[in-house]
């Protein structure tokens, strides 16, 4: 796109080549202005630019339907043709509150009230329309052009809280050229054809039943596919020196308290009482794998110890959040945990990268790599983090594998390497991950006998993560003295039928990532994410649970939707497909 001038939050006017996000942000104001002209009693909430377009949350007097889109788009065209000059002005916090109260905009008032005392509040105006906004925007409405379209609508709880009022979220998109808009719409249609629920039914792979909502039934053909992938999983892991274990599905409360799950993940766990003692069905394999390591004395000669598991895990999801195989209550998670000494970290990481590359190459995946570093909310010493991060970095450097550093995007217990795949229609998915966990070994007091005959503390573990999740994603692994955990499958994203993943800077929530894997002509979808507290309501019945932010380059689709993630974005939304 050609450079365009934009009006920024400091009042300056600058020419920029990064025009598309600004076009979309301005288009969101045009959308809101059109709605206010047609439905004057509408209350406005927020309307940011997002990866694939923009949206605006609104409270309508009467329900809006897709039949109203044409009328709103026609009004938007009028506003654009009017070439309204866009101007920025500011008010004090107190005056801004009074200003928005006078306009009858309670959601804007609440947003301003959350800002610090003495804060200068900026507004942007175009004609009769004024909106609370930090910018930037184009210089006039004419700059939005003709390549825009309202895509869909959905419900969204105000401020991501299911206890708040349900608003109507209008999703739309805009591009610099009409050809780009048409290409995007075509891409969306192609994604819709690949809906895994449609394929699963047509190919006889799996079914769901009201007797067990969220608990998939795999049919004969589905089991052939699943077992073929499991056979391959076992073959490559045996070749790479892994041993396979199977740990119990139910373990007692004491274990989950030690691992931290009881305090941080209990709401997602199914619990029971046996002989008067609390137990839980495992939501993750890691604690059981650690018990296997701790079950007998270990020598430095035993290390590295590479342990893989295909564990059936259960995690509670609200019924409104269930979605085919993408959002379930039980799934097979293929884990690997590598227990090692500090001086083995680099070589083990290199071995894991080689294993992942072997799998992705076999399936014909293109991928790029990111090194995610220590987040603000983290556990452990600076020394541990420095050693872990350097171990991952040096391994990548020695391999000569290009990567991008994603600052502050590691797991709370350690840094990680993320692999982002490109699928057959150009969509990007975060899949495999290698993480260094120095916390679990300390919590469980893991030890080994060193070469000097003295007891050494396991300082870290490399959990290698992948997710077979009834969808099958072969190829995540992790290792370190301690453990490297794969990203936990599906604790962080809520998907509904026809949903579309997005991130934006306005919700302030961490997010999950997704992946799609192909086996021949069959496409099975997979999501992976890791646990870091945050939540945001993003769909009438969807809630973002503890998830971990990741950056995904390019564009990525999930089910019938699409998501494009920026490096420092904070937030997660679910957008319905058109």
Tell me the per-residue pLDDT of 347-372, one tens digit each, with 9 for 90 and over: 888 899 988 889 888 888 888 999 99
Using omega within 30 degrees of 0 as the cis cutoff, is the peptide bond preceding 304 cis? yes
Give the Cα separation of 183 and 416 in Å (integer).
Answer: 35
| 3-state helix/strand/coil string of 59-113 | ECCCCCCHHHHHHHHHHHHHHHHCCCEEEEEEEEHHHHHHHHHHCCCHHHHHHHH
Tell me the per-residue pLDDT of 151-193, one tens digit each, with 9 for 90 and over: 999 888 898 777 889 999 999 999 999 999 999 898 888 877 8
For tokens 């992942």, name the residue.
356
Tokens of 290: 């650690």
Q: CA nearest 121: which of 112, 130, 129?
A: 112
Look at residue 466 in the predicted model and tell me its pLDDT.
Answer: 41
Which 8-state DSSP code applies to residue 267?
A: G
- Other CB atoms within 10 A of residue 367 CB: 19
Look at residue 453 in the predicted model and tell me its pLDDT.
Answer: 87
| 3-state helix/strand/coil string of 446-466 | CEEECCCCCEEECCCEEEEEC
Give the Cα separation of 270 and 290 in Å (integer).
Answer: 21
CA angle 341–346–348, rounded 5-degree value: 75
Tokens of 409: 């995007």
Look at residue 215 in the predicted model and tell me its pLDDT.
Answer: 94
Cβ 164 vs Cβ 398: under 8 Å: no
Tokens of 500: 């579309």
The widest CA-to-CA distance across the chain, in whole angstroms, is: 82
Q: CA nearest 356: which of 300, 418, 416?
A: 418
Q: CA nearest 29: which of 136, 146, 107?
A: 136
Spatial CB neighbours of 245, under 8 Å, sequence gap ≥ 6: 289, 292, 307, 308, 309
Question: What is the dihedral angle through the alpha carbons of 55, 58, 64, 66, rounded to the nearest 10 degrees?
Answer: 0
Look at residue 463 in the predicted model and tell me its pLDDT.
Answer: 53
Give the Cα separation of 390 and 373 in Å (integer).
Answer: 10
Helix residue ranges, H only, 163-310:
178-193, 196-203, 220-239, 253-259, 261-264, 286-294
Give the Cα separation of 484 and 212 in Å (integer).
Answer: 33
Give the Cα separation of 47 and 133 in Å (integer).
Answer: 9
Q: CA nearest 30: which of 103, 126, 106?
A: 126
| 3-state helix/strand/coil string of 292-339 | HHHCCCCEHHHCCEEEEEEEEEECCCCHHHCECCCECCEEEEEEEEEE
pLDDT per residue, tens digit, the chain (578 aa), is: 788 999 998 889 999 988 999 999 999 999 999 999 999 999 999 999 887 899 999 999 989 999 999 999 999 999 999 999 999 999 999 999 999 999 999 999 999 999 988 889 999 999 999 999 999 999 999 999 999 999 999 888 898 777 889 999 999 999 999 999 999 898 888 877 877 788 898 999 999 998 999 999 999 999 999 999 999 999 999 999 999 999 999 999 999 999 888 887 888 899 999 999 999 999 989 899 999 999 999 999 999 999 999 999 999 987 767 878 877 999 888 788 999 888 888 888 889 998 888 988 888 888 899 999 998 877 778 888 888 888 889 989 998 989 999 999 887 777 899 998 876 556 677 778 888 887 788 889 899 998 888 888 765 555 554 432 222 233 222 222 222 222 222 222 332 222 223 222 223 222 233 332 222 222 222 222 322 222 222 222 222 223 322 222 222 222 222 233 222 222 333 322 22
Give the Cα separation of 495 and 324 in Å (integer).
Answer: 9
Give the Cα separation of 445 and 290 in Å (integer).
Answer: 10
Cβ 435 vs Cβ 481: under 8 Å: no
Look at residue 51 in the predicted model and tell me its pLDDT.
Answer: 77
Q: CA nearest 490: which of 507, 514, 474?
A: 514
Spatial CB neighbours of 438, under 8 Å, sequence gap ≥ 6: 380, 384, 385, 388, 413, 414, 459, 460, 461, 480, 482
Query: In whole angstroms, what separates CA 68 from the centre of its chain?
Result: 31
Look at residue 263 in the predicted model and tell me its pLDDT.
Answer: 83
Give the Cα separation of 433 and 528 in Å (integer).
Answer: 9
Look at residue 427 in the predicted model and tell me its pLDDT.
Answer: 64
Tokens of 347: 């070589």
């Amino acid at each position: 796109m050609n450079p365009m001038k934009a009006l920024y939050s400091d009042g300056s006017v600058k020419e920029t080549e990064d025009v598309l996000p600004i076009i979309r942000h301005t288009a969101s104001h045009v959308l809101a202005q059109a709605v206010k002209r047609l439905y004057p009693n509408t209350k406005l909430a927020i309307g940011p630019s997002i990866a694939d377009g923009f949206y605006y949350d609104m409270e309508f007097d009467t329900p809006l339907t897709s039949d109203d889109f044409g009328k709103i788009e026609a009004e938007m065209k009028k506003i654009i043709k009017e070439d309204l000059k866009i101007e920025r002005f500011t008010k004090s916090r107190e005056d801004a509150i009074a200003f928005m109260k006078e306009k009858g905009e309670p959601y804007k008032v609440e947003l301003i009230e959350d800002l610090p005392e003495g804060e200068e509040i900026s507004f942007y105006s175009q004609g009769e329309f004024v909106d609370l906004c930090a910018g930037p925007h184009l210089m006039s409405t004419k700059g939005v052009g003709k390549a825009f379209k309202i895509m869909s609508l959905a419900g969204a709880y105000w401020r991501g809280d299911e206890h708040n009022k349900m608003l109507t979220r209008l999703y739309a998109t805009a591009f610099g050229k009409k050809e780009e808009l048409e290409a995007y719409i075509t891409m969306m249609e192609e994604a819709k054809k690949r809906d895994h629920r449609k394929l699963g039914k047509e190919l006889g792979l799996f079914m769901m039943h009201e007797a067990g909502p969220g608990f998939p039934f795999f049919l004969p053909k589905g089991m052939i596919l699943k077992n073929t992938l499991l056979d391959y999983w076992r073959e490559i892991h045996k070749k790479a020196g892994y041993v396979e274990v199977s740990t119990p599905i139910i373990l007692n409360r004491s274990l989950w308290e030690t691992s931290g799950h009881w305090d941080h993940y209990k709401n997602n766990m199914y619990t029971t009482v046996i002989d008067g003692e609390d137990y839980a069905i495992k939501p993750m394999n890691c604690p059981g794998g650690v018990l296997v390591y701790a079950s007998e004395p270990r020598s430095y000669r035993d290390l590295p110890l590479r342990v893989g598991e295909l564990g059936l895990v259960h995690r509670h999801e609200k019924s409104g959040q269930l979605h085919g195989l993408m959002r379930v209550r039980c799934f097979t998670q293929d884990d690997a945990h590598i227990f090692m000494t500090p001086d083995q970290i680099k070589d083990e990481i290199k071995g894991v990268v080689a294993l992942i590359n072997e799998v992705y190459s076999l399936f014909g995946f293109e991928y790029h790599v990111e090194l995610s570093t220590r987040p603000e909310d983290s556990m452990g010493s600076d020394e541990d983090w420095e050693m872990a991060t350097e171990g991952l970095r040096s391994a990548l450097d020695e391999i000569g594998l290009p990567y991008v550093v994603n600052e502050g995007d590691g797991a709370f217990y350690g840094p990680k390497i993320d692999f982002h795949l490109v699928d057959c229609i150009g969509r990007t998915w975060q899949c495999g991950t290698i993480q260094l966990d120095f916390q679990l070994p300390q919590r469980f007091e893991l030890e080994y006998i060193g070469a000097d005959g003295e007891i050494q503390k396991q300082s870290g573990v490399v959990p290698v993560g992948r997710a077979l999740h009834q969808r099958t994603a072969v190829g995540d692994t992790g290792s370190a003295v301690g453990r490297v955990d794969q990203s936990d499958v599906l604790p962080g994203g809520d998907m509904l039928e026809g949903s579309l993943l997005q991130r934006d800077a306005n919700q302030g929530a961490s997010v999950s990532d997704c992946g799609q894997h192909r086996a021949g002509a069959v496409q099975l979808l997979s999501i992976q994410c890791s646990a870091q507290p945050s939540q945001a309501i993003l769909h009438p019945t969807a809630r973002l649970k503890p998830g971990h932010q990741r950056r995904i380059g390019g564009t990525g689709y999930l089910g019938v939707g699409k998501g494009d993630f920026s490096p420092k974005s904070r937030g997660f939304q679910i957008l319905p497909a058109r």
